[in-house]
A = this chain, B = another copy of it.
Amino acid sequence: MASTDINVKLSRLYHLAQKFNNFYLTGFQKGDIRPFLVEGEQVGLVKADVIKQLQRYPEIFCIRNCEFTNQGIVELNPAFRDYAERTKQVDIVLRDLRSKGIFSALQGWRDEYYEVKSEYRSLLKMDRSATPLFGVRKYGVDINGYVQHPTQGLCIWLQQRSNTKETWPGKWDNMVGGGLSVGYGIKETAVKEAAEEASIPSDLVKNLVSAGCVSFFFESEQGLFPNTEYVFDLELPLDFVPQNADGEVQAFELLPAKECVERVFTQDFKTTSCPVVIDFLIRHGYITPENEVHFTQIIELLHVPLQSLYTYKTLLEQKQKVKQQQNQSQQQSHLANNIKTIENGHNNKDATINN
């Protein structure tokens, strides 16, 4: 009876995993989704509603079909000279769209830049509020602060976000979390956020354990969230209580694992922070194949293959290679024909067919 209860309760997890992957699971079937290219590199994905608006800026965005992949693309004008010019031109468009009040995402203008990168270099920066419109991949860090309680077992510290935050105000969230910023490493960001958000002292933060990452693809009215969160675990002493230092958190609460799962299911929990909690509860043996029927499916949905969705350049190179090989084989065919012509002194029609 008890185990049935757990099954029923936990299969809600599968629905939740589908919810924070709503774009991964169904987004590509719902209309025109195009790669966003900068300098030939795919840095994002753009939905039809955004494409429609970008069409009004033809000097800045080229919306066309790629001649090699036969795929619709949105390309930042390749004539722009450098990082600075690309940044400036995109900024002009974003400020114009913002003034027109078309996208709710831009109403949360942050005056804070996000670096848009290809695998190896920064291509431009844009206001953080705009990245969901372009489906730019976002990276963040999260710390699972936890306690092994003598009577209550595994307990987890959660934070409640400040009501004044631009995104997800007042929602419950992981103990510590933040986006990666230019100039900071991944662990460095975790340590910095641990101090700012929860006043974790250096003698505790030295116990941080890197524990992997989660990747998911969520869509809201704000746009697209192809997010990867680097995950750290931090076991805390029983008597430690986190204290906020930067005004971005209004409360902390320590919850037994069971109550933490319930909190995650409520509307009061930030949807895009759920994957980190679920991953933690799986890695620590609280959610298991015995109590969760969709165990393997949920784990797949904590690690969706985002890299396979941003592969325009690879696809293009493959198509170009095939084209090149076809051209070469045509040239060789001509060459072979010419040789045969020379060999037998007259134009051998069969040669064309055989080659």
Which residues of A are interface residues toward B (Cβ below 8 A)?
Answer: 185-187, 209-213, 215, 228, 230, 282-285, 288-290, 295-297, 299-300, 302-307
Contact = CB atoms under 8 A, between A and B. Distances in A.
Contacts of A210: 282, 285, 288-290
The 4 closest A-B pairs by CB, nearest first: A303-B303, A210-B288, A209-B285, A186-B289
A187 B290 contact: yes
SS class, residues of chain A in contact with chain B:
mixed
B296 A213 contact: yes
Which of A186, A210, A284, A297 has most B Cβ within 10 Å?
Answer: A210
A178 to B, nearest CB: 15
A295 B213 contact: yes
Given A296-B228, A303-B300, A303-B302, A289 B211 contact: no
A300 B289 contact: no
Contacts of A211: 282-285
Contact of A187 (B289, B299, B304, B307): B289
Contacts of A212: 282-283, 299
A212 B305 CA distance: 18
Nearest to A290: B187
B299 A303 contact: yes
A3 B304 CA distance: 29
Nearest to A304: B305
A300 B185 contact: no
Contacts of A296: 213, 215, 228, 307
Contacts of A187: 288-290
8 contacts: A187-B288, A187-B290, A210-B289, A211-B282, A211-B284, A211-B285, A228-B296, A302-B303
